[in-house]
């Protein structure tokens, strides 16, 4: 029996970007849906971190 194909999202250094971005495609439709959901979550996390970073910089400037 053959193993289903896998998709890995890699860093520029060719390492696995995140364990949630290593997806088996035994069902291609489900695999694509999982990939899209996980990429959206990762993008949202980056947005939140950027907002927090900008917010902390603004607050520290305002306190001086």
Q: What average pLDDT does the segment 15-20 reach?
A: 90
Q: What is the pLDDT of residue 58?
A: 57
Per-residue pLDDT band at 40 (split at 50, 70, 90):
very high
| Mean pLDDT score across all residues of the chain | 85
Q: Can you give the pTM of this predicted structure?
A: 0.68
pLDDT at 29 over 80: yes
* Parallel, antiparallel or unpaired: strands 6-8 and 22-24: antiparallel
Q: What is the pLDDT of residue 5?
A: 92
């Amino acid at each position: 029996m053959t193993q289903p194909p896998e998709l890995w999202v890699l860093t520029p250094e060719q390492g696995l970007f995140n364990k949630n971005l290593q997806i088996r495609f035994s069902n291609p439709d489900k695999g694509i849906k999982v990939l899209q959901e996980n990429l959206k979550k990762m993008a949202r996390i980056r947005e939140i971190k950027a907002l927090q970073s900008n917010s902390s910089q603004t607050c520290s400037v305002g306190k001086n």
